[in-house]
Structure 1
């Protein structure tokens, strides 16, 4: 008979998790979901006020009946400052989970891109994740367990004009995590990506401001709508928790069916 306590699979009581990029959007909702499952969460972001507000919201949320919530605490971190990341790895102690949600997009066609814009997108979407993995993974692996989750995108696999650098950086992130999964797997450390579809966050303000563009994106998915940031949080909890102990080197796509049905035609037959 299995000794697994299925009622506890998603609980994170006593676990320490850092959410980097937790000041808003998907990062904020991930913090709230993790705290609700009992985790002690460090809300790390360059924007101190946003991180503090996330911690306040998470600590104010009501727990499920009979369950104890965790706690959230804001810390300041610039992920592009290598010395700051190294210091954080020492100061925060060993983590059970690391969730990285930082990212940026500059929507321009390749011929219109500047090298400065290219560097900015790749720095935040790929280099920052690399630096965090390099800083935190060794101690987690030495402990013999842990889960690292990064936010990729469906654009790692499915593109459109104007998404070239963003898509390339997200595809690179997926391959980085798969390689990390191979290198640290024998030590019990897991690496996975969550690939959202279109989510209403500050990152998509440009699209939301154009009604035709906004509606076109809504119609492209099977569910015919955009995602809310909180609809991505469950995937993060799953990958951090013991519900996914045999999941590593994987990409969990949360896109409302976009990649399944995009470009379809419904004939009247």
Structure 2
């Protein structure tokens, strides 16, 4: 049920991190993967990594902020392969600072990638898939859509908005046979989190919030994406799948061993 043989998938944001891990995982499970990113060298490297182990992939340069870029790439994939079974949008940026210190340019930079970019993937894939009568769309939200952390106002707002967009679009496209879901990772070892991981204390504080006691590897977010793309999830839509090591649901855990098992 988890196999993706014969599927055509597009991964926007495939040059590194979670996007690269998802592209590789899709290929490992049998899909042809159209890898897209603004980073020309990075996305070409991802496609080469897939092809080096016998997978099938192609690379293209796409600016997720530009609707024409996203639409052209998705339309091309669907036209050349006769279908678009899966579309994934992963790009995201963050500028950590209090809201009252944000400039207009900084607000626009974060929302243009996270929110506008996510919208472009959702809309572009939704148009193709609703017409063909099937498909799975996946975008990357975050635990920040639920948890509160100072300095994350704009980033958290975009990720919460994506989560709600997924729910509403799932209702709109459900009658067309199209599923729409999001993955909400916790702390993941990517380029986006390098400033945090550079501080031993800061990185440790994040790890301590996770029930598993550690940061995730990008490949650990790819597993949920394979599930949502596959026939194992044919009755799953409108969901935000938290792949956070237990952070959100166990946020109030109490670690006093003396209290465990007492009345």
TM range (shorter): over 0.9
1:247 aligns with 2:236: yes
Q: Aligned with 1:260: secondary structure?
A: coil
Aligned to 2:117: 128
1:52 aligns with 2:41: no
Q: Among 251, 255, 258, which residue is 2:247 paired with? A: 258
Q: Aligned with 2:95: secondary structure?
A: coil
For 1:89 and 1:97, the matched residues in 2 are separated by 10
1:156 aligns with 2:145: yes
Conserved 8 A contact 2:74-2:124: yes
Mapping 1:28-107, distance limit 5 Å: 28-61=20-53, 70-93=55-78, 94-107=83-96
Q: Aligned with 1:91: secondary structure?
A: helix
Q: Aligned with 1:225: secondary structure?
A: coil
**Structure 1, unpaired ranges of 5+:** 1-8, 62-68
1:26 aligns with 2:18: yes
For 1:15 and 1:70, the matched residues in 2 are separated by 13
Conserved 8 A contact 2:14-2:20: yes
Superposed CA deviations along residues 127-146 of structure 1, whole A, max 9, x for unmatched, are: 11111222221221111110
For 1:259 and 1:81, the matched residues in 2 are separated by 33
Conserved 8 A contact 2:125-2:137: no
For 1:226 and 1:84, the matched residues in 2 are separated by 33
Q: CA deviation at 1:222?
A: 0.5
Conserved 8 A contact 1:37-1:70: no
Aligned to 1:179: 168
Q: CA deviation at 1:86?
A: 2.7
Conserved 8 A contact 2:207-2:213: yes
Q: CA deviation at 1:70?
A: 4.0
Conserved 8 A contact 1:17-1:42: yes
Q: CA deviation at 1:197?
A: 0.2
1:218 aligns with 2:203: no
For 2:12 and 2:32, the matched residues in 1 are separated by 14
Q: Aligned with 2:249: secondary structure?
A: helix
Q: CA deviation at 1:88?
A: 2.0
For 1:194 and 1:233, the matched residues in 2 are separated by 10
1:17 aligns with 2:9: yes
Q: CA deviation at 1:114?
A: 1.1
For 2:47 and 2:71, the matched residues in 1 are separated by 23
Q: CA deviation at 1:92?
A: 1.9
Aligned to 1:137: 126
For 1:28 and 1:88, the matched residues in 2 are separated by 17
Number of equivalenced pairs: 254
Q: Among 223, 240, 251, which residue is 1:234 paired with? A: 223
1:189 aligns with 2:178: yes
